């Protein structure tokens, strides 16, 4: 990039590479991991570790970047696909934005996120520029094994799923139906979207530039929600050592 930034290939976060090493001891890293897994704020981590805030922020950024690598490569079986939109509370928007108005959902000015969830509870999500067929179908083809059952709503971008070699099951949300009574629904992914939005809201708002990092974090947290802390910490250490 001309600005000197680099882009993480996994989570698409733009960052400035630092020349100076963090020089944290293993015990300092472990304390940061512990507090991070407890979902403590960066200010709380600074206070409890006594480390300089810039170091803590850089360490947390590094952790979130490696978490983006720890996602399922391919889903199979019965999967759900859906998109959602993230943005600040309407009352916090600039007056010029509020005066211009906006639409909820598809067509909104908010940031679109596309996700895939397997019925085993694993999820993958990525920031996308558009929610059209040319954007979403290649992502499904890359992440979902052919022959799988793909459940979606009736958004027009999903009409080509069956032609890609999948069994396509539709849920008619526009008619107030959230399941067809035969196990075809996208309730699992809707649950993840709710979880994601609650977590981001608790942060008091995230900038669009940092959104890929926090999306990667909460995808990882959701996928490892049943793991004890020692396993999560071990996994983070393995991911960092593999970089």
Q: What is the pLDDT of residues 135-157, one digit of tens each?
A: 999 999 999 999 999 999 999 99
**Could you give the CA distance from residue 240 to residue 45 in angstroms, rounded to a whole number?**
19
Whether 34 and 229 have beta carbons less than 8 Å apart is answered as yes
Domain architecture of the chain: domains with CATH = 6-69+226-241 (no CATH), 78-205 (3.30.420.10)
pLDDT at 97: 37
Closest CA to 215 of 199, 228, 231: 199
**Could you give the CA distance from residue 73 to residue 63 in angstroms, rounded to a whole number?**
20
Digits of tens for pLDDT over the chain (243 positions)? 555 455 555 555 544 444 444 789 989 999 999 999 999 999 999 999 999 999 999 999 999 999 999 988 899 999 999 999 997 553 443 333 334 444 445 566 789 999 999 988 899 999 999 999 999 999 999 999 999 999 999 999 999 999 999 999 998 655 444 545 556 779 999 999 999 999 999 988 788 889 999 999 999 999 999 999 999 999 999 999 988
**Could you give the CA distance from residue 83 to residue 126 in angstroms, rounded to a whole number?**
10
Phi, psi of 171 (to 5 degrees): -120, 125
Phi, psi of 41 (to 5 degrees): -70, 160
pLDDT at 7: 52
């Amino acid at each position: 990039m001309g600005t000197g930034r680099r882009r993480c290939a996994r989570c698409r976060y733009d960052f400035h590479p630092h020349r100076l090493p963090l020089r944290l001891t293993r015990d300092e890293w472990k304390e940061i991991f512990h507090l991070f897994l407890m979902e403590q704020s960066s200010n709380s981590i600074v206070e409890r570790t006594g480390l300089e805030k810039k170091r803590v922020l850089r360490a947390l950024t590094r952790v979130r970047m490696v978490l983006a690598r720890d996602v399922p490569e391919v889903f199979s079986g019965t999967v759900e696909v859906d998109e959602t939109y993230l943005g600040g509370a309407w009352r916090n928007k600039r007056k010029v934005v509020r005066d211009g108005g906006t639409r909820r959902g598809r067509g909104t000015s908010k940031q679109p996120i596309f996700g895939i969830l397997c019925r085993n509870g694993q999820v993958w999500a990525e920031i996308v520029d558009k929610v059209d067929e040319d954007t979403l179908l290649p992502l499904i083809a890359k992440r979902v094994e052919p022959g799988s059952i793909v459940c979606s709503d009736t958004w027009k971008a999903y009409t080509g799923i069956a032609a890609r070699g999948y069994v396509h099951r539709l849920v008619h949300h526009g008619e107030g139906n959230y399941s067809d009574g035969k196990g075809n629904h996208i309730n699992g992914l809707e649950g993840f979207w709710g979880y994601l939005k609650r977590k981001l809201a608790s942060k008091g708002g995230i900038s669009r530039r940092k959104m890929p990092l926090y999306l990667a974090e909460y995808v990882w947290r959701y996928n490892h929600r049943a793991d004890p802390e020692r396993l999560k910490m071990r996994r983070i250490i393995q991911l960092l050592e593999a970089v």
